[in-house]
Structure 1
C-alpha cells in the first residue's frame, strides 16, 4: 500500500483489481461494474497479455505496444491514470480488467521511479514490460567492455591503416619527420669572423 494514500488514488484501484480473483473473458462478462459497458461488449474486448510500454522522448506520454512490439496507436499520461482519467485509452485497455491491471501496475511502478531514472528510460526509446525491467535492459546494454589496452600503439594504428587501405584498394605512403635539429648540425658551418682586423 502506498504511504501517500491521499495523493495516490490509483493505488486503491490497483489493489481492488489485484484482490479480485484472476478474471478471464468469461468471468469479466459476468461482472458488471456499472461503467456503462454492457456484458456483451466487455466479452468482445481483446486481451493484450504482456503489454509493452515506451516513454516518449519529448512529452510525458507513454505509448503502448503488444508483446510482439506492434504499436497499439494509443498513449496516455501517467498522471491522468493516477487521477482516474482513462479518456486517452481505448475501451479495450480501460474496460478489460486484465488490461487495466497492467496499465495500473505500470503507472504505480513508473511513479515510484526517481526523475533521473524516468529520464534515462525516456531517452533510451526502449520498449519494456515494466520500468524496472527497462532499467535492467538499459544497464545491460551500456556495460563497458573490459579491456586492458587503454590506447592503441603506433604499430597497431599503422597495421590497421594498411589493412584498411588494402581492403579498399588503396595504398599507404610512409611519411617520416626529419629531425630539424639534426639537419642544422650536419650543415657546413661558416668560419668564425676574423677579429684581428
Structure 2
C-alpha cells in the first residue's frame, strides 16, 4: 500500500489490487449473509451482518469503474488467477462464518473497520493526486473510506447483545481480531512484489 500512497507503484499493481478485491468482496458478502442467518434470533447481530453484506454488494458495483481505470476489461478479470496470500483473509472470514459465534466475529470485525477504512482513504487520495484517476474510478475506495458511525453503532450493539446473552468469549474474540489483522497484513505483503512496474 505504501508504494501506491507515494506514487511509485505501477498501474499493474493497482489493477492486481482491484482484481484481488473482486474475489474478496464477493466472498465476504456470502460470508456476512451466512453470519446474518446464524445470528438469529439476535436482532442486532442479524442487522449488522445484513448491513455488511449489503455494503459488499454496493462495493462490488463500484469495482467495474476501478478496473476500467486500470485498463482491465471483463475478459481479463474473469481470467485472473487470485493469489493465495491475498485470499487468506476472505478464506478466514468464511471460516469465521461457519465456526465463530457471530458476537465474537462482530467484535473482531469492529476492530478491523478503522484500519481498512484508513487504507482505503489513503489509496483513494493517491489514485487521484498521483495517478489521475477519476472520482468514479476511486468510488470503491471512497465507499470504504467514508465514516460509518451507524455501522459502528450496529457493531457495538451486536457485541453488547452477545455479552448480555453470554455468547462472547473475549479471548476468542481477540484471537479472531488478531488473525484478521495478520491476514490483512499478509494481503498487502503479497501484493508488494507487484508494486514496482509500469504506469
Q: Above 0.5 in TM-score?
A: no
Structure with the bigger RCO (C-alpha within 8 Å, sep 6+) is 2
TM-score by length of 2: 0.21
TM-score by length of 1: 0.22
